[in-house]
Amino acid sequence: MLAVLSPGQGSQKPGFLTPWLDLTGTEARLRWWSALAGVDLVRLGTTADADEIKDTARTQPLLVAAALLAAEHLPMHDVQVTAGHSVGELAAAALAGVLPAEAAVTLAGVRGREMAAACALEPTGMAALLGGDPAEVLAAIEATGLHAANRNGSGQIVAAGAVAGLEKLAADPPAKTRVVRLQVAGAFHTPYMAPAEEALATVAAGITPADPGRILLSNLDGSAVNHGRDMVQRLVRQVTAGVRWDLCMRTLADLGVTGVLELPPAGTLAGMVKRELKGAGAPEIVTLNTPDDLPAARALIARHGSAPGHEPTIAFRVVVAPAAGTFQPAEELTEGTDLRTGQVIGQITTRQGAVEVTAHASGTLTEWLAHHDDPVAPGQPLARIGGQV
């Protein structure tokens, strides 16, 4: 099973898109997307310096455009799983078929501008806490009035909030923890970004999403998302909610992912996966940064993706598990029952509580693919719906 990952803010490097402009049609595509995002993606990806592309308003659409641009040169129909870190979720959603590429780039432009504006309202920031006991680190973050904005696994948790709180945390860090202040504009993925979330929600309300055509993981809780509208709501909410990349990587392991491809600018997520998913079951990893890496990326997809001519692992007529746990189908439902969109067909009992499973379309319950008390993993097919979907 193959997963394609889209990186988030902080992964950008000056000139990283320059070699891609040698490919036919690339510059025209970037200029079209520039009009949608409200920034010059061609210049930002080629001649702009590090300070300019560090600007949140510019960085976010640049990263989404870069991932989508590279994916156009890959056999994405053979990819079973997509996921993205922070703003990279917009690219992942587009690659899963939830959003058109144009919508993803447009939303990234709005997201970047509005988050930059929210950062200017009061002095906030972020700091990475490396090492230490996770429970002690989270307790220290809460005690200083900060928020756990990112949990990236392998002993890395990012705190965000008021500058005074960050300074207090740095002066008295948890045991065996190193605090590294991040060069960012403000406290992303915290309540400080509420104005940006509200603005993004207003624009996102005009989008008509599709349900994902492959397994799409959410930063909110690492679960596989069945419904396009649910994913759009999660994308909006993620502006103020913490990024649980640790749970996304756990889901990759639960799914039995054997190959991981990171889209440009690649390296950050691949490093996290390499540190977290170790041992005999560690996936093969390829980073795609320039067109010279395309042959290796295509070969990885050929080795770990779905066989050509086969149906995708997750199709629109299959309801999948949003989380790991024990499945309990709704008692009144039997095969042959007519379902309506949004109807609860069962629940998954997890360590955090019960998670409802709903039908993403109307139709007939043609087959249960999981049964009472069956253990299930995120993305595992639970039921098949036929008819008008």
Is residue 227 annotated as part of the catalytic site, yes or no? no
How many whole angstroms separate alpha carbon 248 and alpha carbon 337?
A: 33
Q: Which residues contact 121 (CB under 8 A, 6 or more apart)?
A: 192, 195
| pLDDT, one tens digit for every residue, the chain (389 residues) | 999 999 999 899 999 999 999 999 999 999 999 999 999 999 999 999 999 999 999 999 999 999 999 999 999 999 999 999 999 999 999 999 999 999 999 999 999 999 999 999 999 999 999 999 999 999 999 999 999 999 998 889 999 999 999 999 999 999 999 999 998 889 999 999 999 999 999 999 999 999 998 999 999 988 888 889 999 999 999 999 999 999 999 889 888 899 999 999 999 999 999 999 988 889 999 999 999 999 999 999 999 997 433 344 433 457 878 888 899 999 889 988 998 888 999 999 988 888 888 887 778 888 888 899 999 887 777 888 876 43
Sign of the CA dihedral running 20, 217, 261, 99: negative
Q: Extract the tokens encoding 300.
A: 């990885």
Burial status of residue 261 (CB atoms within 10 A of its CB: 0-12, 13-18, 19 or more): buried
Cβ(141)–Cβ(147) below 8 Å: yes
This prediction has a pTM of 0.81
Quick one: which of 194, 246, 195, 192 has its CA closest to 220? 246
How many whole angstroms separate alpha carbon 259 and alpha carbon 277?
A: 11
Residue with tokens 């149906």: 311
Task: Show the CA angle centred on residue 46, arms to residues 10 and 285, nearest 5°.
Answer: 50
Q: Active site residue: 34, 85, 147, 189, which one?
A: 189
Task: State the DSSP H helix or E strand holding residue 58, giving kind and residue range, or none if neither.
Answer: helix 56-71
Is residue 85 annotated as part of the catalytic site, yes or no? no
Q: Active site residue: 86, 218, 223, 306, which one?
A: 86
- Measured in whole angstroms, the distance separating CA 213 from the mean position of its chain's CA atoms is 15
What spatial distance separates the first Cα and last Cα of the chain, rounded to whole Å?
26
Strand arrangement of the beta sheet that strand 353-358 belongs to: 353-358, 344-350, 325-329, 374-376
Q: Which residues contact 311 (CB under 8 A, 6 or more apart)?
A: none
Tell me the domains of the chain and their CATH numbers: 2-118+191-304 (3.40.366.10), 121-182 (3.30.70.250), 318-386 (2.40.50.100)
